[in-house]
């Protein structure tokens, strides 16, 4: 009896110690408020500042008033609310040139891959509709390591980018994983299509956002027909720059980079670090910590240098880099 009691006390203290250690290591949940994907210089004209504030206000109003409606949430699981590039007539390609961001088009490979596909997990067969999308729920969780903190930051930065650019009607093309609903790695396989809901929430039904599918759910390469379709579209809109983001660098993003670099010169094809994610499987905790600042936020300068020097991930390419701060702010003349 005394031995059993002692064993129980030791077990209880072990659990308390583990909880205390976990609490000490846990980072605070990220603030989930939308932030512009670029930093305006302090001396920016007042008109630019007001434009950014107006876009943020529009996003917040929609998130609060439209996307909390149970009917809208249910509809968000039915189908994508943005157009497939396949459904756009070739004769209509040219009009999308009005949405270029100072001549640039953004192509995002497998957005939010970490949240939805990184680990297979169990199938979700719940019929209940959550009040928030899966990425927003993830960002409310504590981060227990530098690798987790970096993953959360990457998901937030891309989410904010898509919210902002779709609301500001800038041209964005999403490359989604083909047949993802049947893919073994889809965390929500068999339940509500949470990936579809997320895409619908962050793209806001914008006419400036299109999507197409990668050849396979775990690779970023395009099928031949989709590659030809995309190239014809980019030519028709007269894109001056192709700006790539998404996940992961060294993996699916590299696949698309290699697909496109044979068609575009050095001064037209770039990877954008602020909207690029790195697989947690491709980095150590120390490497992740090195690109986070004292507040646990991504140091974009360090991340940029790490991607350029190939010290994060295992990419075979040395991608050309274009930072968002090097692009004139959305709304600027």
Per-residue pLDDT tens digits for 143-158: 889 999 999 999 999 9
- The helix-helix angle for 146-167 and 46-65 (nearest 10°) equals 100
The residue behind tokens 């898509």 is 162
Q: For residue 84, what are the β-bridge partners?
A: 211
What is the domain count for the chain?
Answer: 1
Asked whether residue 16 carries a pLDDT value surpassing 80, the answer given is: no
Q: For residue 313, what are the β-bridge partners?
A: none
**Within a domain: residue 300?**
yes
Q: What angle do CA 154, 123, 25 make, to 5 degrees?
A: 40
**Within a domain: residue 310?**
yes
Q: Smallest Cα–Cα separation from 323: which of 308, 311, 310? A: 308
- The percentage of the chain sitting over the pLDDT mark of 90, rounded to a whole number, equals 64
Query: pLDDT tens digits for 278-326?
Result: 988 888 899 889 999 988 889 999 988 888 877 666 667 778 899 997 6
**Within a domain: residue 12?**
no
Residue 313 exposure: Cα atoms within 13 Å on the Cβ side: 26
And the tokens for 276?
Answer: 């690029």
Measured from the Cβ of residue 128, the count of other Cβ atoms closer than 10 Å reads: 8
**Within a domain: residue 9?**
no
Is residue 88 within 8 A of residue 229, CB to CB? The reply is no
> What mean pLDDT is reported for the chain?
86
pLDDT at res. 11? 41
Q: How far apart are alpha carbons 188 and 290 in whole angstroms?
A: 32
**Within a domain: residue 29?**
no
Identify the burial level of 6 via C-beta atoms within 10 angstroms of its C-beta, where 0-12 means exposed, 13-18 middle and 19 or more buried: exposed
pLDDT at res. 38? 87
Asked whether residue 231 carries a pLDDT value surpassing 70, the answer given is: yes
**Within a domain: residue 88?**
yes
**Within a domain: residue 111?**
yes
**Within a domain: residue 31?**
no
Measured from the Cβ of residue 72, the count of other Cβ atoms closer than 10 Å reads: 15
Structural domain of 214: 44-326
pLDDT at res. 20? 35
pLDDT at res. 199? 98
Higher per-residue confidence, 190 vs 162: 162
């Amino acid at each position: 009896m005394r031995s059993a009691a002692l064993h129980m006390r030791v077990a209880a203290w072990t659990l308390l110690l583990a909880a205390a250690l976990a609490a000490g290591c846990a980072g605070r949940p990220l603030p989930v408020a939308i932030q512009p994907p670029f930093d305006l210089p302090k001396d920016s004209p007042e008109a630019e500042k007001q434009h950014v504030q107006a876009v943020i206000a529009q996003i917040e109003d929609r998130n609060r008033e439209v996307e909390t409606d149970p009917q809208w949430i249910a509809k968000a699981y039915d189908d994508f609310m943005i157009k497939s590039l396949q459904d756009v007539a070739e004769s209509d390609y040219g009009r999308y040139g009005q949405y270029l961001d100072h001549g640039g088009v953004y192509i995002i490979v497998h957005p939010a891959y970490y949240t939805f596909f990184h680990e297979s997990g169990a199938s979700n067969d719940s019929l209940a509709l959550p009040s928030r999308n899966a990425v927003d729920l993830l960002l409310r969780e504590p981060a227990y390591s530098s690798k987790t903190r970096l993953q959360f930051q990457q998901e937030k930065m891309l989410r904010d980018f898509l919210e902002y650019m779709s609301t500001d009607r800038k041209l964005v093309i999403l490359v989604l994983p083909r047949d993802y609903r049947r893919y073994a790695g889809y965390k929500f396989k068999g339940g509500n299509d949470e990936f579809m809901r997320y895409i619908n929430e962050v793209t806001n039904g914008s006419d400036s956002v299109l999507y197409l599918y990668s050849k396979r759910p775990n690779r970023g390469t395009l099928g031949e027909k989709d590659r030809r379709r995309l190239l014809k579209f980019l030519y028709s809109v007269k894109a001056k720059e192709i700006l790539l983001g998404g996940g992961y660098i060294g993996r699916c993003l590299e696949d698309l980079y290699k697909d496109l670099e044979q068609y575009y010169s050095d001064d037209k094809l770039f990877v954008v670090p602020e909207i690029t994610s790195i697989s947690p499987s491709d980095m150590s905790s120390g490497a992740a910590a090195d690109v986070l600042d004292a507040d646990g936020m991504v140091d974009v300068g360090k991340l940029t240098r790490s991607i350029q020097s190939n010290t994060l991930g295992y990419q075979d390419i040395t991608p050309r880099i274009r930072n968002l701060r090097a692009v004139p702010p959305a709304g600027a003349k």
